[in-house]
Chains A and B, each alone.
Chain A
Amino acid sequence: MHSRFFLLILIIAGLVVAFVPLSFRPIAPQERTFRIGARQFAYSPSELKVNPGDKVTIQLVSTDVVHGLYIDGYDISIEADPGQTAALNFFADKPGSFRFRCNVTCGAMHPFMIGKLTVGSNQWLYRSIGLSIIAAISLFFIRSTRPSDRQLPITIY
């Protein structure tokens, strides 16, 4: 009987993890500026995190040859020569994870010049981690309580 109660708690916990909106920290849109250095064949920083609704400015600073920066999903790009910082402004209105890459041939390893833009806290990642932990616990729990489980219909209700 204890076990049934525990199972209920696990199910509720699962539902909470999966569906409760994560709005305990209300996120007001901000203006964010990133200064990204580009050189053959990497960006630094190569990972950007913003919140949905943020007004984002990316300044691209090339330090060797001409590089570009194209953001998948947003379909916008800039190009920078060394000495001429280029700026890209956009509203992060599409949540998710997007790849950005160099769209100017800048040498042999050019196709590997990539980075990542994450818009929004990565909720699905956290939720699925939480859910799998709960699943693991319940699996373990159900296994160990199986014999008593069979008797449950008689004792309860």
Chain B
Amino acid sequence: MKRLELLSRILITLAIVGAVGTPLYFWSRTPLIHARIAENGGWTPDVIRANVGEPLHLKLTSDDVVHGFAVGQMDMQSVDVLPGKVTDLTLIFDKPGIYTFYCTRWCGLNHWRMRGTIEVGGSSSDTQPASAPLYVTLKINIDAPHNAPTIPVQKPSALRGQSFSTQLPITNSTNYYRANSPYQVFDELSNTSLTETERWDVAAYLWQSNTTAESLANGQRLYAQNCAACHGENGAGDGVFADDLTALGATLQRSMTGDNKMTMQTPADFTDPKRMMGASPALLQGKILRGGMGTGMPMWGSIFTEEQIWDLIAYLYSFQFEYQK
């Protein structure tokens, strides 16, 4: 009797310890990822390994200021990584490959440098060959100056442009839109009876017809979160870090071509018609995908999906065109 009771007591105790201890054991085994501003090391560790289809548990904490965590090109809600707190996160990858994780809360001039990789191993059935970006197939030199020789006298209006859009010598299509700058459209219409203002209006109409209100709203949101700190909330290249970047450029004197030395570190002004009318969506896509390679413009190719980048580009042109609501 006595022994039986003792035995059952021991069994119950073991069961309780097991029930509480097992998850605790696994929790303590998942490594804690520390976030620090890029100047102090960024993420440690910054390489994480995972397997396809297996849940990846992550614990995140910050050693200094507020950071955020998200994985590029993945449909997930970003999470905040706060000092003195531990954030738990579980991810499942359904394709092998190398993913980029990045900080989602602005933590200084070098915030965008806070990136790391997740190497997801395993075999997958569908490995699509990565197609070359449009600027490569179109052979656009994205580092060459691309100012439009002439600019509109007034803001081109898509509404006005629509009325001239019938019987045009050009066929409107996604491919046409992506490969041409508004200035090229303006130029191609030069032997029609349209006035210069009307030709710009047609360009505005074509640009609007190749996007949607939803895309523009998505582009605006992405722009505010990822670009406005440098390029300015209104696109004028005057974001809160613009001066810091310019100062950095002046000290580094970084230059790739020599002739545009000083402008290398100043964020592009999207409200400048010369720049935007002379740029095709393919060119802008190239710049956003690849980054400036030392100009201060980050590369976003591993962060955004193709669709997100087209949404961003559509939004960038909205600083130039008047779209009907």
Contacts and interface: CB of A to CB of B under 8 A. Distances in A.
Interface string A129-157: 00000000000000000000000000000
Contacts of B228: 83-84
B65 A62 contact: no
Contacts of A18: none
A71 interface: no
A48 to B, nearest CB: 21
B106 A81 contact: yes
Contacts of A85: 233
Contacts of B108: 64-65, 82
A83 B107 CA distance: 11
Contacts, number: 58
Interface string B63-76: 01110000000000
Given A66-B106, A83-B228, A83-B229, 6 more contacts: A61-B240, A63-B240, A66-B107, A84-B229, A105-B83, A105-B84
Interface string B211-250: 0000000000000110111100100000111000000000
Chain B at the A interface: mostly helix, strand, loop or mixed?
loop
B79 to A, nearest CB: 14
A12 B37 CA distance: 64
B106 A83 contact: yes
A106 B233 contact: no
Interface string A62-91: 111110000000000000011111000000
B155 interface: no
A61 B84 CA distance: 25
Contacts of B233: 83-85
Chain A at the B interface: mostly helix, strand, loop or mixed?
loop
B58 interface: no
Interface of A: 61-66, 81-85, 104-107
B82 interface: yes
A65 B107 CA distance: 4
B66 A107 contact: no
A63 B241 CA distance: 7
B105 interface: yes
Q: A-B pairs with the 6 shortest C-beta distances?
A: A83-B229, A83-B228, A66-B66, A82-B106, A81-B106, A63-B240
Nearest to B104: A81
